[in-house]
Structure 1
Amino acid sequence: MSNSYAQPILRTADLSEGLRIVERLLGIADLRDLEVDFEARVSSAEILAPLLELLPHARWFAEGDTGGSSTKGDEPLAHLPVRLRGLALSPETVQPFLDAVGDSPATVRWDFMGWPEAPEVGLGVGGARGAFVTLCVNVRDLELEVPATDHTVFVHVKQVEAERAPWLAAQVGLSVIGDLEMAPY
């Protein structure tokens, strides 16, 4: 499995605006096999408890020197802060996840079959590899390293189809606002 390349197209303090842009992008995508992945950096029991209730099979690992993880069967509360990841979930879990995550840094990534044809930039229908949209919540980057008070929407494409990112942004009335970068997973 190779990584996708992502480019930011919106930064906003209004989370609902970010979600509207995601919905518009999903409206032009081939949504067969649609699933959602979540990741969050969690520092408090008040945030961790509802996230674990929502995502009971989430994987997690400790950030720092404690070395705790779900693969070892450790108790996450004993290892805060942790990075929690839920994979291949239903789109209906997005709003409950956003409600539970509070002001913690998090990402929601929609994964689907492909992007549409982009004849204006010479591209045919895009396949599943590189067909994602990510909403970064309370963080500026895909790796959850740069905390923020706003939210960023990224479109993902194949590296060889980099022209698709600005084309996608234009389809929802936006333009790219940063560089194309390799996504972490």
Structure 2
Amino acid sequence: MLRSSGRFGQLLIVAVTTTATVAGCTHSVGGTAQRAESEVPDPERSYGYVDDRCGLLDDGSVQDILQADEITRPYSGAVCQYILSRPSGAGSQIVDVTFSWFDTGSLDRERELAEARGAVVNEVVLERHDVFSARRDITGAACSATAAAGTGVLSWWVQFRGVSTGDPCAEAEKLLSATLRSDM
């Protein structure tokens, strides 16, 4: 009988010691949890036309992301223009796409310009980067997605030619997301 109470006593001492240790190691921290954000991509990186790529994406990547049958790039440089054709209902849809990179500038300035031009601006987070989309339908459903990049900004703009429906913001965000992933 004495043995049983001895074991019980040992267990009681272990339990009390463990509880005291755990209680002594815990503490509360004030504040609000914050989402981890990536730093601005490499300030020395060029997002312009390099090695047959615009914004770090080659033509095939742009074509795949937007699920196009055909792609033409009539101009390349700090601004790259694309014309894509993809199936749509009984025919095909023409999609105009522009990539732009300005090696100086700010996200705030670009946002202010978009708002001044009457675009509907929405804040978005892509690949842990603050981004805004700016939708402005004038000659078709159109939207851009813009992010800070190094010392400047980069943007993808998508317009469904002659069509006022659809979600060009989702398309622009896919391209921008792929660019930001390529920079990691």
Provide the TM-score with structure 1 as the length reference: 0.33
Q: Which has the higher contact order (CA 8 A, sep 6+)?
A: 1
Which protein shows a greater Rg? 2
Provide the TM-score with structure 2 as the length reference: 0.33
